[in-house]
């Protein structure tokens, strides 16, 4: 396992191992809920594709509204307590669903409220987490750390959907969501167990207001050629995928007549693909160079998405397992590189605001994409949504090719492009 999951230095870092284990468990829980929550809405409340899109979007709407402010908060305070509070809040929100179901008072409105609460927790946790990791492992080990986390998240993606599908069929979707609440509590405990003191946040001038600090993060991203290009790339790419996301389960359950267990098996193949992608990512970069590897990752993912409708004419489950594997393998190669690039060229005191700026825009378009995907599916059917979503991803490939990203061969080249960024910002 250590060999499969990358280098060896962080295997001797006990606090990283605590963070790693807790996040792996909570990601397994998150994958269960990703299947169980829309399944609960579809089967219990007989929702349309549009309502499923809105439900998924409710978990993302906090990002364009709160991310920039969360980035300022994360750069002003220690990050680990923010992560603990966010995990605790998400556990409480999710636990309310099986409780309401047992009392026979569960409503579709409650699912939306829980989605909103989860979104707020996700904003706080994700921005704090991305800013915390470099300070925990150091810049020298950040790529190894991201590789290890991505590899274990891939294992979680492998286990979570399959487990979720089985749990939904055995005990019901509402009770399966309760398992995710437990996983967040496990994450709280592992975070609290970390012993290495977190550095004090950088002193902030009393005259520096929240909006001035937000502006610093935005200026950093807008004026840095690599960060600006990465933001444009991931925003358009994520919009394309999120357009299709609410349609998958509608397509599986109503057009292909699959069971939750079969849907879970298909989603589990995403985990296998992501795991393979995380293992081969470094080799792909070594052979092709950083920029070309990222373009190839997006292209492979887009082709796989375009192939989803062929399940209507082929053995559905084996075909969907194959295209899901290819999709996740390809996009993971890209994703590891873009996250590591962002972290590597950004000074520590701006990590939170840089990540918040990214989250505001590229996660911020997700609710709109989810809504439009559901709306188009209700109007024209799911097949057109998959084809439109795949076609849109030509744009981020073009951005990589014509921007400074496409000329990068390695991380040292990216660091050289960062120049005097620390002193300037």
The model's pLDDT over 347-405, given as tens digits with 9 standing for 90+, comes to: 777 777 787 788 788 878 888 888 899 899 989 989 999 999 999 988 988 988 888 87
pLDDT the model gives residue 305: 92
| Domain residue limits at 265 | 9-195+208-424
Q: Return the structure tokens found at 274.
A: 């992501």
**Count of the separate structural domains present in the chain:** 1
Mean pLDDT, residues 84-102 taken together? 94
For the cut 60, the answer to whether the pLDDT of residue 413 exceeds it is no
Give pLDDT, residue 411.
Answer: 59
pLDDT reported for residue 422: 41
How do residues 3-62 score in pLDDT, each as one tens digit?
Answer: 444 456 767 677 788 888 888 888 888 888 888 888 899 888 988 888 988 898 888 888
pLDDT band at 189 (very low <50, low <70, confident <90, very high): very high
Of 115-124, 132-141, 191-200, 206-215, the range with the highest mean pLDDT is 115-124
For residue 324, what are the contacts with CB-CB under 8 A and spacing of at least 6? 266, 267, 269, 270, 273, 304
Of the chain, the percentage scoring pLDDT greater than 70 comes to: 88
Residue 199's pLDDT is 67
Query: pLDDT category, 209, cuts 50, 70, 90?
Result: low
Residue 202 pLDDT class (50, 70, 90 cuts): low
Please check the confidence at residue 132 and state whether its pLDDT lies above 90.
no
| Of residues 387 and 418, more confidently modeled | 387
Helix 62-76 to helix 108-137 angle (10° resolution) is 30
Is residue 201 a part of any domain in this protein? no
Cα 38 to its chain centre, rounded Å, is: 17
d(CA 236, CA 65): 19
Within a domain: residue 203? no
pTM score of the predicted model: 0.74
Give residue 172's pLDDT. Answer: 86
Q: To which residue do tokens 């394309």 refer? A: 240
Which whole-number Å values give the CA distances from 377 to 69, 249, 294, 320, in the listed order? Answer: 34, 12, 30, 19
State residue 217's pLDDT score: 74
- pLDDT tens figures, 273-317: 888 888 888 888 888 888 888 888 999 999 999 999 999 999 999
Look up the CATH number of the domain holding residue 214.
1.20.1250.20
């Amino acid at each position: 396992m250590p060999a499969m999951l990358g280098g060896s230095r962080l295997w001797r870092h006990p606090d990283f191992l605590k963070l790693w284990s807790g996040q792996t468990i909570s990601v397994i829980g998150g994958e269960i809920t990703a299947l169980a929550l829309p399944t609960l809405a579809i089967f219990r409340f007989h929702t349309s594709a549009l309502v499923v899109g809105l439900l998924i979007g409710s978990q993302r709407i906090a990002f364009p509204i709160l991310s920039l402010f969360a980035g300022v908060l994360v750069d002003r305070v220690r990050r680990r307590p923010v992560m603990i509070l966010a995990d605790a809040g998400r556990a409480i929100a999710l636990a309310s669903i099986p409780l309401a179901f047992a009392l026979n008072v569960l409503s579709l409105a409650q699912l939306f409220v829980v989605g909103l609460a989860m979104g707020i927790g996700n904003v706080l946790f994700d921005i704090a987490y991305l800013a915390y990791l470099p300070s925990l492992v150091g810049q020298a080990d950040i790529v190894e750390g991201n590789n290890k986390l991505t590899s274990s998240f891939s294992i979680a993606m492998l286990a979570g959907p399959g487990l979720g599908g089985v749990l939904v069929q055995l005990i019901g979707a509402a009770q399966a969501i309760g398992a995710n609440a437990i996983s967040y509590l496990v994450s709280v405990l592992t975070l609290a167990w970390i012993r290495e003191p977190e550095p004090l946040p950088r002193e902030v001038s009393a005259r520096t207001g929240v909006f001035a600090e937000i502006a610093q993060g935005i200026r950093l991203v807008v004026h840095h050629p690599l960060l600006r290009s990465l933001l444009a790339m991931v925003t358009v790419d994520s919009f394309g995928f999120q357009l299709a996301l609410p349609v998958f389960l509608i397509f599986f359950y109503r057009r292909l007549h699959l069971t939750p267990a079969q849907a879970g098996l298909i989603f589990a193949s995403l985990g296998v693909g992501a795991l393979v992608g995380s293992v081969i990512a470094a080799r792909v970069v070594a052979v092709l160079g950083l920029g070309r590897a990222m373009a190839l990752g997006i292209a492979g993912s887009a082709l796989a998405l375009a192939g989803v409708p062929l399940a209507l004419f082929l053995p559905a489950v084996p075909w969907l397992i194959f295209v899901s594997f290819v999709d996740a393998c390809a996009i993971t190669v890209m994703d590891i590189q873009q996250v590591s690039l962002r972290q590597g060229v950004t000074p520590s005191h701006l990590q939170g605001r840089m990540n918040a700026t990214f989250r505001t825009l590229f996660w911020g378009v997700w609710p709109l994409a989810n809504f439009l995907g559901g709306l188009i599916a209700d109007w024209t059917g799911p097949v057109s949504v998959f084809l439109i979503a795949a076609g849109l991803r030509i744009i981020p490939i073009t951005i990589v090719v014509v921007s400074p990203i496409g000329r990068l061969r390695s991380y040292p080249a990216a660091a050289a492009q960062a120049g005097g960024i620390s002193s300037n910002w």
